[in-house]
Amino acid sequence: MREIQASEAKTHFPKLLDAVERGETFIITRHGRAVARLTPEAPDRAKVARALENLRKPGKQTGKITAEELLAWRDEGRS
């Protein structure tokens, strides 16, 4: 977890969001005092459970799996 000054967070907000998407957490400070925490959104547990169930179902897929299908399954549990 990294600390970042509010002025720097304002300047680099898009880059901060990219880092948060990758799982990083930031404490935003003002005058040396923590004022906010920027953290990744928690996954929707129901979506994750459905995606896992779909992967476990035998016979759902016949033949080869395309890259697009594999990526769709991977992303199904994400918002």
pLDDT tens by residue, 36-61: 999 998 877 888 888 888 878 765 55
d(CA 28, CA 12): 12
What whole-number distance in Å separates Cα of residue 29 and Cα of residue 33?
5
**Hey, what domains does the chain have and what are their CATH numbers?**
2-38 (3.40.1620), 45-76 (no CATH)
Give the chain's mean pLDDT. 87
What pLDDT was estimated at residue 79? 61
CA distances from 31 to 5, 19, 26, 37, 66 (A): 8, 23, 16, 15, 52
Length of the chain: 79
